[in-house]
Structure 1
Amino acid sequence: MIYLGSDHRGFELKQKIKEYLKNKQSFSANKNLSFEDLGDFSPDPSDDYVDFVAKVAQKVLENEDNKGILLCGSGVGVDIAANKFDGIRSALVYDKERAVQSRQHEDINVLSLPADVLSEDLALEIVGAFLDTEFSEEERHIRRLSKIEEIEEMN
């Protein structure tokens, strides 16, 4: 399952991502393309991205196959907040190559996007790369992720 969340600045781009996922879902046998929007449900300037990050992070942590996509203006706020949850590996991504590398090397389970700077086409390309790329399972990446888990356990 894919969980989406955004504040008011990410709202419009999130709507485009939902359309993309609906279209991608109809052409794919991949059941992991089911998605749920966890808010915001209108572009409310008084909302706080942290509230939507918490909802998405909690859902992602329920199942290792779950993924999250978060948006705010810069992407920085949602990325910082998401990474406060043990077990969440979020990356702020600006291009397709970083999306692929983040999935292959860091096995990210949350994609953070900067809605103010991404075109719709680039954002959808990044989302596609995030969803279509698998973790490499290379020993060096597994070792590094284990060290990150050790840090989480210390805190």
Structure 2
Amino acid sequence: MKVVIGADHGGYQVKEVVKDWLVDRGIDVIDVGAVNYMAEDDFVDYAKQVAREVGGDKEVRGVVFCRNGVGVSIVANRFDGVRCALGFDVEQVRKARTDDDVNCLAIAADYSSEKVIKEMVEVFMKTEFSGEERFVRRLVKLDKLRFESD
């Protein structure tokens, strides 16, 4: 399993902490930026790069960071094959993986401690989709939505 991470200026510092922590744990990390702090950068640029890597590849998970996590989650969810959830609690992230098979996690850098962020990322990386019939059924319905026009 590899993880692709990206952050704008609002999430840059915590992304760097999480990246180092993941690498120290032996996780294959691809950092799509920002590579340094740039006060005027845009979250869209990094979230789209993460989403492109994640979409359709079962062996890749993405983590996107910004100040409130909302913008990056909106961007990621516009890409086929990406199901991005805004993480706010360890148990909520666990359920997002087991029930909704999310493959991208949005982190609100301004609203969570580094400790909680690491715990959420760890659960996100380790937890597998349950494959339970009702959850599979719902994911099939979600995939069909992109083809509806009304």
> Structures share a fold, TM > 0.5?
yes
Q: How far off is 1:62 after superposition?
A: 5.3
Alpha-carbon distance change, 105 to 62 in structure 1, aligned in 2, over 3 angstroms: closer
Q: How far off is 1:154 after superposition?
A: 2.5
1:89 aligns with 2:83: yes
Among all aligned residue pairs of Structure 1 and Structure 2, give the percentage whose two residues are the same amino acid.
Answer: 37
Give the RMSD, CA atoms, in angstroms.
1.0
Note the alpha carbon deviations across 1:76-128, whole angstroms, 9 max, x for none.
00011111112110000111001100000000000000001111100000000
In the alignment, structure 1 segments of 5+ residues that lack a partner are 26-32
Q: Which runs of structure 1 show a deviation greater than 6 angstroms over 4 or more consecutive aligned residues?
A: none
In the alignment, structure 2 segments of 5+ residues that lack a partner are none
1:117 maps to which residue? 111
3-state DSSP class of the match of 1:36? strand
2:59 maps to which residue? 65
Letter in 2 for 1:114: A
3-state DSSP class of the match of 1:154? coil
User: Which of 106, 127, 140 is the equivalent residue of 2:100?
Assistant: 106
- Whether the 8 Å contact between 2:56 and 2:81 is mirrored in structure 1 is no
User: TM-score, normalization: structure 2?
Assistant: 0.95
CA separation in 1, counterparts of 2:56 and 2:35? 23
User: TM-score, normalization: structure 1?
Assistant: 0.92
Q: How far off is 1:11 after superposition?
A: 0.4
Alpha-carbon distance change, 62 to 139 in structure 1, aligned in 2, over 3 angstroms: closer
Aligned length, in residue pairs: 148
Note the alpha carbon deviations across 1:114-146, whole angstroms, 9 max, x for none.
001111100000000000100000000000000
